[in-house]
Amino acid sequence: MPRGLLAGDPVDVAPLLLNKLLVRDGRVGRIVEVEAYRGAEDPASHAFRGRTARNATMFGPPGRLYVYFTYGMHFCANVVCWPEGVAGAVLLRALAPVSGLDAMREARTASWRGAAPAGGGRSAGGRAAAGGVPPDRVTTAPPKALPDRQLASGPARLCQALGITRELDGVDLLTGHRGVRLLDDGVAPPERPGVSGRVGLRLAGELPWRWWVPGDVNVSRAKAQVVGGR
């Protein structure tokens, strides 16, 4: 993974990251879905309105990991692009698990055991105990183990599976510090990746800046997959 490659426009870099490996300690996943965010030129980018404490990493050198926290409970991971001083990034949206599947599953299901029944709060859905549910209900494992295809098939899921939190914001993905690394094992990106608009955006969602590996079962939101052209 030459750093110079990552210094380019996120729209150019993003599809090139398909089929690269993301490594976190013993856990390895192959990148199968990405989105580009073009900083100051992109209304949907966290950096559109300039530098803040939260998005500072996006303004740093390329090849670093930008991690943000959202929806009060989820983390998402990006590869920083463009030269230092210019904000831009590629959001990693899905991985195909390669190794360390047990650790990924454990990380993804730990909240079932960890979730203590909240005192007064009631909840209709989710894993918190609803009123009247016995305590042992939340201390047991989920009814079924998560299928492999759901371990890292989403931007927040992959962070949970690999244990990526805001503590890892800013680490260099090319040197492997803190156990996080981007690796090229020789598998080329798809010649003809799937392309669509980005997911979950209020602004600029129609721009075709989402790419995935065609046919991969780990890609999120399969229904949104529409390959342009022929």
Partner DNA sequence: CTTTGGATCGTCT
Partner DNA sequence: GACGATCCAAAGG
Tell me if 73 contacts DNA by CB under 7 A.
yes
Tell me if 35 contacts DNA by CB under 7 A.
yes
Tell me if 139 contacts DNA by CB under 7 A.
no
Tell me if 108 contacts DNA by CB under 7 A.
yes
Among 49, 113, 177, 192, binds DNA (CB under 7 A): 49
Measured from the CB of residue 128, what is the shortest distance to DNA in angstroms?
5
Q: Give the separation between CA 202 and CA 11, rounded to whole angstroms.
A: 19
Tell me if 141 contacts DNA by CB under 7 A.
no
Between 23 and 79, CB nearer to DNA:
79
Q: Are 183 and 12 in contact (CB under 8 A)?
A: no
Q: Give the separation between CA 218 and CA 94, rounded to whole angstroms.
A: 7
Tell me if 156 contacts DNA by CB under 7 A.
yes
Between 118 and 217, CB nearer to DNA:
118
Pick the piece of the chain touching DNA (CB under 7 A) from 23-31, 38-46, 186-194, 206-214.
Answer: 38-46
To which residue do tokens 């991969």 refer?
Answer: 216
Q: What is the CA radius of gyration of the chain?
A: 18
Tell me if 46 contacts DNA by CB under 7 A.
yes
Among 191, 202, 229, 230, binds DNA (CB under 7 A): 202
Measured from the CB of residue 55, what is the shortest distance to DNA in angstroms?
6
Between 166 and 192, CB nearer to DNA:
166
Task: Please give the C-alpha separations between residue 136 and each of 16, 17, 117, 140, 146, in angstroms, as whole numbers.
Answer: 47, 43, 10, 6, 20
Measured from the CB of residue 210, what is the shortest distance to DNA in angstroms?
10
Q: Are 131 and 119 in contact (CB under 8 A)?
A: no
Q: What is the dihedral of CA 144, 150, 154, 157, to 10 degrees?
A: 50
Tell me if 128 contacts DNA by CB under 7 A.
yes
Binding site for DNA (CB under 7 A): 35, 37, 44-47, 49, 52-55, 58, 68-74, 76, 78, 89, 91, 108, 118, 121-128, 142, 150, 154-157, 166, 198-202, 220, 223
